[in-house]
Structure 1
C-alpha cells in the first residue's frame, strides 16, 4: 500500500529533466493514475473541491469525508488530496520551486491532520495562527513535556476550560 509519506516524498522531489502532465517548473506531483483508488475511480475524480480551493478548511474537511465515503483508507485519502492540490501550486509561476514544495508540504501536513482526525468524530480541528514567539514557546513547552505541540495546545485549552 502506498503511504502518505510516499506522496509527500514525491511532491518534494524537484527534478531537472523530463516532464509529465502533473509536472510544472520542477515540482513533480503525484498522479491520480498512480494512486490506489477504489473500484469506482470515476467517483473519486468527481471530487468537488480541487486545487487551491482545498486550502479552505471547510472544503478540505468535505473532500476528506467524500474520499472516505468512497472507501479510501486514510493514507490513500491523503495521497489523493495531495494529488488534487499539487498541480495548482505547481502551475503558480510566481513561486520558486522551493516555495512550491514548501506550500505542498504544508498542505500535506494539514490534509493529514484532517484525515486522521476523522477517526474520532468527536474531535474538531482548528487552525489558529500564532506569532513566531508564541509558536516557539509552545514548541519548547511541548518538547519539555515530551508531547507534540498540538497535544500541548489541546491539554492547555482543556485545562483552561475546567
Structure 2
C-alpha cells in the first residue's frame, strides 16, 4: 500500500554523508516537530533529476523556506557519498541529501520504482511530499518517466 495524506512516516534508518563517513539518520527523529519538504528522485546524476528536479529545489529554496518550511530534503537510493558528490556538483547547499540505499523508506511507503531490466534496478519513485511533525500533509507521486507534480514550483503552490 502506498502512503497517503494523513499517514505517519515509517521509522527507518537513512544516511547522509559527513566528513567522518555515512551518518545514520533516524527518520522519526528527522521529521519530528518540524515542517519538511521531502522530494525523491530515481537517481543522482540522471538526466531529469540533474537537469530539473534538484535544480528546481535549489533555485526555490528561499521561497519554500519563507512558507514556513524548516528543511528541504532529497531522498534517493544512491549511497550517501554519491548524493554528497551530486549536492556539491549542483551547489545544493540548502538541500539535505538522504540516502535510502537499502530502500527501507521507499519499501515501507510503497514509493518504489522497479527499473530492473533497464540496468537501473529498484529505486525510489519520483515524488514530493510535505511532512509536518512526521505526518504527510501533501503528497504528489509522478507516473513513471513523468516530471509534472513533484517539482519545486508544484510544491510551492501547495504551501
Fold in common (TM above 0.5): no
TM-score w.r.t. the length of structure 1 is: 0.30
Could you tell me the TM-score, scaled by structure 2's length? 0.31
Larger Rg: 1
Q: Larger strand proportion, structure 1 or 2?
A: 2
| Higher relative contact order (CA closer than 8 Å, sequence separation 6+) | 2
